[in-house]
Amino acid sequence: MREAAMATLEDPFGKVRPKLVAARTEFLAELARFQAAELERRPSPEDWSALEVAYHLYVVDGLTLQEMRRVQEEDNPELPALETEGPRVTRETARDLSLDAVLAGMAARREEILQFLAELPPAAWERPCHHHAWGALKFYQLVNVLAQHDRQHARQLVEIRERLRPSGSGTSPAASANSSLSSS
């Protein structure tokens, strides 16, 4: 029993991989609930469409992978404000999006992240970095932000879908209850 506990502590990738996969699966499940005609519709001019939100995850995965590499290569780097940089890059580059291209990009980028993480030794997960708002972080905390980010945007998709569909159409009470539970 003690060996199993030690293996978990010595395998940070084994611990975080299921979180990253589950969070991305949750996001993709919410995206799949959109009708094709709804994917590019925005609830209001200032909001993103579901397709733009998916593209945003692709963009942020790329930016985060760059920063993960920096944390492994530099001593205690200062991370850029990805919470503002991600939306900025998304807005500036979101042109002529297709669902197939966005999904393929998301899958490839996430696989690149998982491959990078799988190759890291356990000590690499303790490397420090600094975020302007969150302060001192360890590498593993930066990685965990990706899962939180996916879940945040899964909840955003629920909100977008609710705003696009008049009440009573397309969503059963059971589906509403399930989406409420998943955002907890």
Name the superfamily (CATH) of residues 12-164. Answer: dinb family like domain (1.20.120.450)
Helices (H), 37-172: 50-73, 82-93, 99-118, 139-164
Give the separation between CA 43 and CA 160, rounded to whole angstroms: 6
pLDDT at 165: 87
Domain parsing of the chain, residue ranges = 12-164
pTM: 0.84
- The model's confidence at residue 170, banded by pLDDT at 50, 70 and 90, is very low
